[in-house]
Amino acid sequence: MNIFEDFDFEDFWSDDEFTPFTEKELEETEKALGYKLPKSYIDLMRIHNGGGLEKDCFPTTEKSSWAEDHECIYTIMGIGNKNDDYLCGESGSLFWVEEWGYPNIGVYFGDTPTAGHTMIALDYRKCGKDGEPEVVSVDQEADYNINFLAKDFETFIRGLVSEDEFDTSEQDKQDSLEMTETGQFSDVLTDLCAKVPEKFNIENKIRILAKSKVEEFGSFSLHADDFSMMLYDIQFWLYSYPNESVDKNEYLITDYTKIITFGTFTGSDENHNFTCGGYAPNFVSDDWLETRIKEGRIIESDNEIKMSPSWIKELEESILNISV
């Protein structure tokens, strides 16, 4: 009997299409992952082999990495490797352990709205590789803190509810708008802004871009959209002003996160800092930096990077033209 025969799947999945798995693919998946998948996981995948969710919130009694009273899950990974986001695909469970440094506690099967900074996993630490795992969330930004969600996968699935029951998007947007307007800049960002001529009015320009980001997307986070790319540009312009060559690794690994992403805020209320509170390194190194290098806007030599003179002029004109 399929564990979910009595389950109402109306408005559960956000998509109708999926690729069924074979028994051979199931065997290969478990072998590659090194864990026996719960029967409830396999039964659910027989009905719908992975995909996005409409019922994507799991209520919690304590604050999670996402909200005060629930954790959010965007998709569940299918069995096999036919798609990148299946359990054995390029962005599957092992990717998060090997590439992002997540602890090897079991099988990472669900992503969240945090762009990879929190993942949902089957936790086999108590039950062993052939047992019935718990479901947990793992928060990368909190030193990979592991938060218990459900005693097993079936309980987790049956507990999922619609986001409408926890909709705080409007309040979140208003809070983000207030932060972009009056939030305190990090110590590093404050010092960097002080280096450039007053004519750029750079603090206000940064706030305008951040506010525009929130107005369009509902929150302040940096990805690969035009607002984010401009803020990546400005951060590097400030960091390297006046057009000094800087060590690529020192910028990306050591100093970038101190500017807007996290940073130190002397004497401020931690709830009122100008920060996006998290970032995906690939957006910075690949979507932004590698793109700018290919465009010739940033010049790389012996692991040092600097802005091309023509791009400095172009970017500074763009900054001056941002309407206050």
Euclidean distance between the first and final Cα of the chain, in Å?
64
pLDDT at 275: 92
pLDDT at 270: 67
What span, in angstroms and rounded, lies between the C-alpha atoms of 190 and 198? 13
The dihedral over CA atoms of 124, 127, 133, 139, expressed in degrees to the nearest 10, equals: -40
pLDDT at 157: 96
Long-range contacts, stretch 190-193, CB < 8 angstroms, 24+ apart: 192/238, 192/239, 192/241, 192/259, 193/238
Please report, for the chain, the start and end positions of each structural domain, with discontinuous segments joined by +.
23-166, 169-320
Going residue by residue through the chain, which has 324 residues, state the pLDDT in tens, using 9 for 90 and above.
789 989 999 889 998 889 999 999 999 999 999 999 999 999 999 999 999 999 999 998 887 777 778 899 999 999 999 988 899 999 999 999 999 999 999 999 999 988 888 999 999 999 999 999 999 999 998 899 999 999 999 999 999 998 777 767 788 899 999 999 999 999 999 999 999 999 999 999 999 999 999 999 888 988 889 999 999 999 999 999 999 999 999 999 999 999 999 888 887 776 689 998 888 888 899 899 999 999 999 999 999 999 999 999 999 999 999 986
Second-level CATH architecture of 23-166: 3-Layer(aba) Sandwich (3.40)
